[in-house]
């Protein structure tokens, strides 16, 4: 395997002002420290958590300028330490820690243990790019429903990537789902896909219908990705003793909760942060769950990618992300091999930008690249032996 180059291109955030503050710049390729690996990035998604980070509203910030992006996939090209060197040449999914730069770059530096997951044979690098955040979030939330023996749950942002995963996981476990969306076209899409209980939060009778469904299905647990006034609406209409778990804020607003249900009906609101959940897992537990997730990436935990946009070259603003995207549930852009076709951008699907093909032969200053996929990837060399 050839040595990494001295410099790379990266999408850099210069201020916590959203997508408008992103620029493509040249940076030195980082050098692995003890226990770290250097990954040549092939694909990196843009999740709602990434867009929250761009505004400085995430659970942490980094000193500016910084490279955003919380997860990616690629191939390990260098490592320091026994286990890190053992990963060299492997296709991996990786998550980014609080310190250092993120995944929206040609190369990324991550800890070999706990932040780097070898991909199973048959899992593509594009699937691997979305391995950690959305699937693990959906799996963790549905685990709460199972452990609490809830016959049914309510979920907001049901048309999002996580929402669809939750619905599929619950269907397999025979847990009823009351799906709440914000727009009629989202409701129509879910019904066409077979969802039985779909409500639009903008309808005049939304509250009454939600209360009736919760009572009928005995739904006392809700997963809320929207926040704002909708959190309080859920709490008011759900039965006494219900619990609302807030795991996102797509509305851009803080949850608005009336005191009555909390005081008189034993209802409560709590938060869920994936980082905290992952921190409770042992390394073997993380590996087992990662293997389980990988086997479902083509099924219950599949993600939709509608377009791909290349990283680009030269110091310039990036066209793939635009101000206001963090307030939407849709707009799949692509940073990669394919050009962005505005006629194919769909606002009715969850945000899922793919920073793909960062080392493509089509990008300026990149050397010749092998045919895609590489021959060794076609041999499915993801990992040897069981996880």
Please indicate, yes or no, whether residues 138 and 110 belong to a single structural domain of this protein.
no
Q: Tell me, yes or no, whether 386 lies in a domain.
A: no
Which residue has 């994936």 as its token pair?
Answer: 274
Residue 48: is its pLDDT beyond 90? no
Q: For the chain, what is the mean pLDDT?
A: 82
Q: Residue 39 has which token pair?
A: 């990954």
Number of H helices, E strands in the chain: 12, 16
251-309 pLDDT, tens digit per residue, is 989 999 999 999 999 999 999 999 899 888 887 888 888 899 999 999 999 988 867 87
What CA–CA distance (Å, rounded) separates 126 from 278?
22
Please indicate, yes or no, whether residues 119 and 144 belong to a single structural domain of this protein.
no
| Angle, CA 97 vertex, CA 94 and CA 98 arms, to 5° | 155
Residue 185: is its pLDDT beyond 90? yes
Q: Tell me, yes or no, whether 283 lies in a domain.
A: no
Q: Is 0.85 topped by the overall pTM? A: no
Q: Which domain holds residue 258?
A: 133-275
CATH code of the domain covering residue 94: 3.90.180.10
What does 280-318 look like in DSSP terms, one character per residue? TS-HHHHHHHHHHHHHTTTTTT------B-----SSEE-
What CA–CA distance (Å, rounded) separates 357 from 370?
12
**To which H or E segment does residue 224 belong?**
strand 219-224
360-384 pLDDT, tens digit per residue, is 323 233 333 223 233 333 333 232 2
307-344 pLDDT, tens digit per residue, is 787 776 544 555 556 544 444 443 333 343 333 232 33
Q: Between β-strands 268-271 and 243-246, what pairing exists: parallel, antiparallel or unpaired?
A: parallel
CA nearest to 25, candidates 271, 287, 316: 316
Q: Tell me, yes or no, whether 16 lies in a domain.
A: yes
Q: Tell me, yes or no, whether 281 lies in a domain.
A: no
């Amino acid at each position: 395997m050839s040595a990494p180059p001295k410099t790379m291109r990266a999408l850099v955030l210069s201020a916590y002002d959203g997508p408008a503050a992103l620029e493509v710049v040249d940076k030195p390729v980082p050098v692995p420290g003890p226990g770290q690996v250097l990954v040549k990035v092939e694909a990196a998604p843009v999740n709602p958590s990434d867009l929250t980070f761009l505004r400085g509203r995430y659970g942490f910030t980094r000193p500016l300028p910084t490279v955003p992006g919380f997860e990616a996939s690629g191939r390990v090209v260098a490592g320091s330490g026994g286990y890190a060197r053992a990963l060299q040449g492997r296709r991996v999914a990786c998550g980014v820690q609080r310190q250092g730069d993120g995944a929206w770059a040609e190369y990324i530096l991550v800890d070999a243990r706990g932040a780097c997951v070898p991909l199973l044979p048959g899992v593509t690098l594009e699937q691997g790019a979305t391995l950690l955040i959305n699937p693990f979030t959906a799996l963790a939330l549905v685990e709460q429903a199972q452990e609490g023996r809830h016959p049914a749950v309510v979920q907001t942002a049901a048309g999002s990537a996580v929402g669809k995963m939750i619905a599929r996981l619950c269907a397999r476990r025979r847990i009823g789902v009351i799906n709440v969306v914000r727009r009629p076209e989202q409701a129509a899409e879910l019904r066409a896909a077979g969802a039985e209980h779909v409500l639009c939060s903008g309808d005049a009778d939304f509250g009454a219908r939600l209360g009736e469904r919760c009572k009928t299905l005995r739904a006392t647990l809700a997963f809320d990705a929207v926040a704002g006034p909708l959190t309080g609406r859920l709490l008011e209409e759900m039965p006494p003793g219900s619990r609302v778990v807030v795991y996102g804020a797509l509305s851009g607003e803080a949850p608005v909760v009336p005191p009555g249900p909390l005081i008189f009906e034993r209802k409560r609101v709590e938060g869920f942060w994936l980082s905290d959940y992952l921190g409770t897992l042992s390394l073997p537990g993380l590996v087992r769950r990662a293997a389980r997730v990988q086997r479902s990436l083509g099924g219950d935990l599949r993600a939709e990618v509608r377009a791909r946009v290349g990283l680009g070259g030269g110091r310039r603003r990036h066209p793939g992300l635009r101000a206001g995207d963090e307030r939407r549930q849709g707009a799949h852009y692509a940073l990669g091999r394919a050009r962005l076709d505005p006629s194919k951008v769909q606002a009715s699907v969850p945000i899922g930008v793919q920073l793909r093909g960062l080392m493509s032969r089509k990008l300026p200053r990149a050397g010749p690249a092998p045919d895609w996929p590489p021959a060794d990837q076609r041999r499915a060399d993801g990992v040897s032996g069981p996880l």
